[in-house]
Amino acid sequence: MKKSSTSTSKLASLKNRRADSDRRLRQSTRLARVLQVLNLIQGRGRWNAKSIAQELEYSERTIFRDLQVLELAGIPWFFDEHHQCYRVRPDCRFPVLNLTDEELLGQAVATAATKAKGLDLGTGASPTTRKLAANSAENAQTILADAERLMGIFDLKLADHSRHQEIFKTVQWALLKQKQLTGQYESPYESKPATLRLHPYRLCLVKNAWYVIARPADEKEPRTYRVARFKTLRMLDQPVAVPDDFDLHRYFGNAWAVYRGAKRYDIEIWFTPEAARLVTETHWHDTQKATHHKDGSVTLSFQIDGLEEIASWVLSWTGQAKVLQPPELRALVVGKLRQALELHR
């Protein structure tokens, strides 16, 4: 049987995307290598073509081509006959980004944020800030130093990912290189760890933890996996298959946090006057609406897919909140309160 024109078109489109992805990856690899060569000959070491080739594990011919690229880019390197090594002319100055004070302040905020527990995965923004400061005018250096010294981010109550640094990096590189993942995943709802083979779609921070959105190789739909629950994870050489129209916001829908229920509910919760001001200080959900009452109380309304996650949130306001709608949520909250009373008897 002959393949349909639609199937042939889809196959050709997929091959073109893979070819384009491979080309971009090769270009990125070469650019990274050229920059490594520049970094070496700018330093205080004595590097010739042979030693650079050994350091970077490429042929000398490749290193000579990279030096030609640097020359074409206007980098004034030369061969120091006395020390038998390559050098960059001492008066060479690379252009510095002309950042505004607002942009510098934004960089300082990013540096402070990536030092916070739960966000400190990898080196964060600190190395970039240091490099900017080293190559910037005195005013910019002062702003970066003062802002970083005066700002701090604490008590985000994010999940502890300190033991999962390598797993986090593995996910990042798999997403960037568009490769599949495999590893052991320990779910609290299963009796033993499961061996998974995944097509990773996205990595995202939701509420207090990092999650991987990925499709199991033997299933049609993606699932949500908590990074901290992977016991092992490694990147495979096989390419991923991610739909072009995948949208993270559409995937989560109107979930209260991470897990989207099958049914959408119109939620109404009344808060006492004492809690009204505090609860309205935070925007809890994209669908949130507030109705203020004369006695100082407030009713918050939402449209939520699923009830389990928002039920836990309502319980955190015990004694200050009452579920008005829907009856299913009220019954769920009451049931959990009864369980709590039994445990505390």
d(CA 148, CA 221) in angstroms, rounded, equals 43
Q: Enter the pTM of the model.
A: 0.67
Q: What is the band of 7 on the pLDDT scale with cuts at 50, 70, 90?
A: low
CATH number of 20-88: 1.10.10.10
Q: Please say whether the beta carbons of 332 and 315 come within 8 A.
A: no
What is the tens place of the pLDDT at every residue in 88-145?
A: 887 776 655 678 889 889 988 888 888 888 888 777 788 888 888 877 778 888 888 8
What is the tens place of the pLDDT at every residue in 268-309?
A: 999 999 999 999 999 999 999 999 999 999 999 999 999 999
What is the tens place of the pLDDT at every residue in 33-83?
A: 998 999 899 877 889 999 999 999 999 999 999 999 988 888 899 999 988
The answer on pLDDT for 200 being more than 80 is yes
Q: Please say whether the beta carbons of 188 and 197 come within 8 A.
A: no
Which residue ranges make up each domain of the chain? Answer: 20-88, 101-150, 162-252, 264-343
**What percent of the chain lies above the pLDDT cut of 70?**
93
